[in-house]
Structure 1
Amino acid sequence: MTGDPHISLLASITWLSDLDPPPEPAVADWLLERGSMTRRFERHCQRVSIRRGREGYFPAQALGEDEVALLPPCERYWLREIILCGDDRPWLAGRTLMPENAMDGAEWALTTLGDMPLGRWLFRDRAPERDFIQLGRTAGLWARRSCLRPNGKPLLLTELFLPDAPLYC
């Protein structure tokens, strides 16, 4: 699934430093969600599932410079790309990056999530710290990225809301 057109859109996001014009309040409510997006999606469908794309360790040089700059330096990063679906319709393209040297203890579970949405693991006990939410746009779609800190360790999460997502309803 590496060639999924939704996942390839993640590379074309323009990250916004100021919002002119800002998103409508209903859209901003979705984009600034601090809890689990998986749980929020579950309120709008019968079943949330994922389709997996690329997953594994990648050298820093193979990743976007702007992404790597938001995380502590490391030679390799865990990368996971997915499409999150609501009732089998693609709602969100997601990309997770975590430095390999931060993946000890509970974080090792990221490598074994399989078909489990990341939100179910991240928000299993309590919400992790979130350093920021940065908004972006591509192809008329909204995106956001955040640095979350499960157990105090950095994880960069990029989310692109696809055309069928409830965000646009």
Structure 2
Amino acid sequence: MPQAYSTPGLLWRPLALWPRAIRPPLALQHWLTDPGSLTARLIKKSTGKFEVEIVRQFIGRASRNECEVLAIRMSDLVMIREVILKGNNQPWVFARSLLPLASLTGELRHLRKQRTRPLGAFLFSQSHLVRSPIAVAAIQRNHCYVPSTLAESELLWGRRSIFSLHGKHLLVSEVFLPDFVASLALEQA
């Protein structure tokens, strides 16, 4: 049975568990549930006009919920990487990745210095990548999960899952921003 996990003020659960009446538009649902590389899809959608802008990257502690999902202790340190994925010079996705320091060893140690390279490009180039089921959240504009300058006044939809490489886990969440949702609406028109 799929599980639902909460972050203070957020409920992450499979899209199928969201009531149909409050689900996002169908075009966005396809993006939320696609198990493939979001980076590759964004590059294609932007016809190559894609870039990663770092919001912040630091060593810190995950929230209680993030610790539960990653199966780590509250005292464990993680590298927190927050970026904006831009297409056609517009902010399309806010991405937050948590990489436990214990996972950033061996083949994964270079992820400490990912800079503006998209994390997804690296992850999906790995033949032994394992991904957990995708959980989806509806994020109110005043919730602190997304910087307020990006949220505008709309309800935002995000997704997250755990990626595992060689038994090392990373939690990646991606929140689709208003400019991206507007671009989907234009495609449907």
Q: TM-score, normalised by structure 2?
A: 0.75
Aligned-partner residue type, residue 120 of structure 1: A
Contact 2:128/2:166 (8 A) holds in 1 = no
Equivalent in the alignment of 2:12: 15
Q: What's the CA shift for 1:24? A: 4.1
Q: Percent identity?
A: 29
5+ residue gaps in structure 1?
Answer: 1-9
1:1-169 matches, cutoff 5 A? 13-16=10-13, 18-21=17-20, 22-45=23-46, 46-58=48-60, 60=61, 63-74=62-73, 75-126=76-127, 128-139=129-140, 140-165=155-180, 168-169=184-185
Deviation at 1:11, TM superposition (A): 7.7
Q: Which has the higher contact order (CA 8 A, sep 6+)?
A: 1
Q: CA RMSD in A?
A: 2.2
How far the C-alpha of 1:23 sits from its partner, in A, is: 3.9
Q: Residue 120 of structure 1: CA displacement?
A: 1.3
Q: Verify the 8 A CA contact 1:55 1:78 in the aligned structure 2.
A: yes
Number of residue-to-residue matches in the alignment:
157
Q: Deviations over 1:101-143 (max 9, x none)?
A: 1211121121111111111111124372111210011131110
3-state secondary structure, aligned to 2:31 = helix
